[in-house]
Amino acid sequence: MTQSETYTDAPLRFSIPQMHARGRVVRLDKVLNDILSAHAYPPIVERTLAEALVLTALLGATLKNAGGQLTLQAQTDNGAIAMLVCDYKDGDLRGYAQFDLAKLAELPPDATLFGLFGKGYLAITFDRSGAPDEGGGRYQGIVPLEGESLSAAASSYFAQSEQIPTLINVAVAHVTDRDGERCVAGGFLIQHLPEGEEGRERLHVRMDHPEWEHVSILASTLSATELADPSLPLEEIVWRLFHEEQQVRIEAGLALDKGCRCDPDHIRSVIARFPASERAEMVDETGDIVVNCEFCSRRFPISLASMAN
């Protein structure tokens, strides 16, 4: 089974026209481990970040135009995980988490979402490219970190901020094969879209619409094992769920890659915007201004002397 056949590290888009439903399914393997390997995360933080990266890939795959960006941020003032940030842009995926090791040590291995974050919020920001009258612009929704998982909180975002019935399922697992042990995570998102035509029913005001109920019942039969199985093609997942429907359309999305956008030239240009007096206050004992990238865990020392050139 080749990577292209399973669509590993690439979302698969699908739609069911007669049911007014669309969805995305994705499985992260190599790209996930490339991102996680930059940090030595405790298992529970790794699992939570993996779930967040899957959500980011699913939501990012809904962006239609190149140049758009999706950012997912979970934050709290008193949780074991203080902040978690992921973003997607043109197939590039990145993310990191900040955590309190002492607070984590007090939690059970199966800590709840509230146990990990306490009282916090989930912010989802769409930066859509293009003119506002063409669907472009920046849109943000913020919802409480409530429910059993980040996926449940993300579903609440669509119900509250966009009023679109949405079902999201994410699974994270560790697999062992001839290449050793690694983390694999899969995600499935399906939405019921309003017809939006004048004089027609606005489907999003009815969460119990028969078409949505039918589709969501089928989608809820998808198991965590299927989602996180690297040998199971994503097309087969869609076929298993909806093969009795009149028509199902599928389309491969952009291949995903670890895409940290830190760049020495860009960092230098940002530092150059500060007054010389402030730059002088930033230097360390070696005469460098050191910038740390939280996403990829790299350090960028910029010589203060070089900024004078």
* Full DSSP string of 56-119: HHHHHTT--STT-EEEEEEEESSSSEEEEEEEEETTEEEEEEEE-HHHHHTS-TT--HHHHHSS
Residues 261-293: tens digit of each pLDDT: 777 787 788 888 888 888 888 888 888 888 877
Residues 197-248: tens digit of each pLDDT: 333 344 444 556 788 889 999 999 999 999 999 999 999 999 999 999 999 9
92-99 sheet: strands from edge to edge: 137-144, 120-128, 69-76, 81-89, 92-99, 257-258
Phi, psi of 41 (to 5 degrees): -80, 140
Residue written as token pair 């001839």: 178
What is the Cα–Cα distance from 95 to 150, expressed in whole angstroms? Answer: 15
Residues 83-106: tens digit of each pLDDT: 999 999 999 999 999 999 999 999
Amino acid occupying residue 229: D
| Rg of the chain (C-alpha set) | 21
